A and B are shown apart, each in its own frame.
Chain A
């Protein structure tokens, strides 16, 4: 079943299209890695699809009322902000705002904390944690929202390797449970290892969409990222190593 259907979505900044007629479907079980160089339109596409930016074209989520959107999709922006010295548990509890049900809130919060390995941090002050730990808190907040769809903008940025792999495993686990996940990722090796599909964006357009092996071709890497790289899918997962700049 399609959780997000984007058809001909465009976003203009002045006269310039930063997202240009993109169509994409996210189904249950999909973990889509949104890849592309800086400025390719990844963040703009996700924000527009969520209804956070004015756009033309159609997104099945942005067309919903704000409250319904919040029940359909959770969003984790790139800019991580926790304004006040709130406890980790209180921050994660904010995820229940749109789905507040007294008898289910505690369980949802505990599950999110455990999933992100934060159960022992629950009463710590979130703003006093390291950047990586704060990122995990904000992912837990998005998980507590318990939506069928999760969109995350560079969720693994500033995380150490262990946390990067653990976060991607959480997202993959969510997809295996029937959720849909889209995450913009700059680490192509991590994206190839974890995602079921990759969507390659370049200059606002969706250039390629498919399995990591179908998308991370030599031509795409040269044309879009301007690099030569070694890529191989092994039994242990994908191995990706940038070799040189063209």
Chain B
């Protein structure tokens, strides 16, 4: 554990508590906590059925995106890499969109996340097949771009062929990404995939450290590159596919968080994994709290707020990087 981790853990706990306490049902902290534990009365239902799953999903989404972003940047040795680069989130979105467009999503509550996860699984198989058994990071990027482009085109087609404006409306709003109106069922659907994905990605620390010196050097240091790539793709697919399935597309977390935290962990990719996981959780929870504070009665989407926070941050990073290069 590095020096910044205790601070990040403390901030994450604060944000989690904030996410539990802030909402339309305004109640004192003590009363809210009692209601959360006992589940008694309307406040108990609000705490257990609405705010708890929302806060838990916030952590799961943030940890998945932050961890995956740090792993992708470490593997590709590129600070502009993010989980979406290998097309998993695009494919998961496509699965969800097809499910909404065809009406499959209305058949049973699990239909939409199951469709998104299935599409993410197909994307993994396609990426691993396209990238080949001995391919390097370049072939992985190319395979990811191809899958991402294909998923984007298919999503546009699904929107284009939408049977009515309401279906289009529903699809577009789902694609903006949100944690609102989610239940513990969504948490239980995504959690096993997230845990598996996190464990797989966390095991890559030494390999990502070695890859800092290039693929050839890493291989000469005993790193199995093909195995590393497979664990990375499956780990990212499991965690990002699962959270995209339950929350929709939420961008910028996997790009910005590792970038911001890199200098706090002496740029070591293995340390950045843990820091980014915590930082991702903080960013998503904070943005979800902002969603509720900015427009308490409206339906401001988390993905939109994240983009509004992420894009200026990204511009600032570009400006700083340009300054360094000049």
Binding site for B on A (CB under 8 A): 47, 50-52, 54, 66-71, 73-77, 79, 81-87, 90-91, 94-95, 97-98, 138, 141, 145
Contact = CB atoms under 8 A, between A and B. Distances in A.
Given A85-B267, A97-B221, A98-B221, A141 B216 contact: no
Interface residues of B, number: 23
B212 interface: yes
Interface in B231-275: 262-263, 266-269
Contacts of B221: 70, 94-95, 97-98, 145
Contacts, number: 78
Given A86-B212, A94-B209, A81 B77 contact: yes
Residue from B214, B216, B221, B267 having most chain A Cβ neighbours under 10 A = B221
A79 B216 contact: yes
Contact of B213 (A50, A67, A141): A141
A77 B217 contact: yes
A44 to B, nearest CB: 12
29 contacts: A51-B219, A66-B222, A68-B222, A69-B222, A70-B220, A70-B221, A70-B222, A73-B220, A75-B216, A75-B217, A76-B217, A81-B214, A82-B213, A83-B77, A83-B212, A83-B213, A84-B77, A84-B262, A84-B268, A85-B262, A85-B267, A86-B267, A90-B268, A91-B212, A94-B210, A95-B221, A97-B206, A97-B221, A97-B223
A66 B214 contact: no
Contact of A67 (B134, B222, B267, B269): B222
A241 B16 CA distance: 72
Given A70-B222, A97-B210, A84 B216 contact: no
Interface string B177-191: 000000000000000
Interface string B265-292: 0111100000000000000000000000
B211 interface: yes
B77 A86 contact: no
A81 B206 CA distance: 17
A82 B212 contact: yes
Nearest to A84: B267
Contacts of B224: 66
B216 A97 contact: no
Interface in B198-213: 206, 209-213
B229 to A, nearest CB: 14
A118 B220 CA distance: 23
B212 A85 contact: no
A176 B210 CA distance: 29
Contacts of A83: 77, 211-214
A219 B126 CA distance: 55
A74 B134 CA distance: 22
A79 B214 contact: yes
A86 B268 CA distance: 7
A91 B263 contact: no
